[in-house]
Amino acid sequence: MIKRLYLNLSFVGDNRCLGFRIYHKCEYVWLTYGETERAATDIGSALIRLGENHGQNTFIGIYAVNSVAI
């Protein structure tokens, strides 16, 4: 999935990637591919700062609500 994100980022960085509604009657708010990549990088950087190992053989599961809005 991350490989697809980076591939798309190089072509359509400013296009819509993830959308959400704050309330079900509201319009969708969209994050671009660039904003999505930045958020993923920020989360990864925070985990490394907390002392988690990093590399190709390290996997971390994140238990969270499946929503961009939170």
31 vs 66: which has the higher pLDDT: 31
Q: Is the pLDDT of residue 42 over 80?
A: yes
Long-range contact list for 65-68, CB < 8 A, 24+ apart? Answer: 67/20, 68/18, 68/19, 68/20, 68/31
Q: Give me the phi and psi of 10, to 5 degrees please.
A: -70, -25
Query: Domain locations in the chain?
Result: 2-49
- Global pTM reads 0.69
* 63 DSSP assignment: -
> For residue range 10-39, what is the model confidence (pLDDT) as tens digits?
777 788 988 988 888 889 999 998 898 898
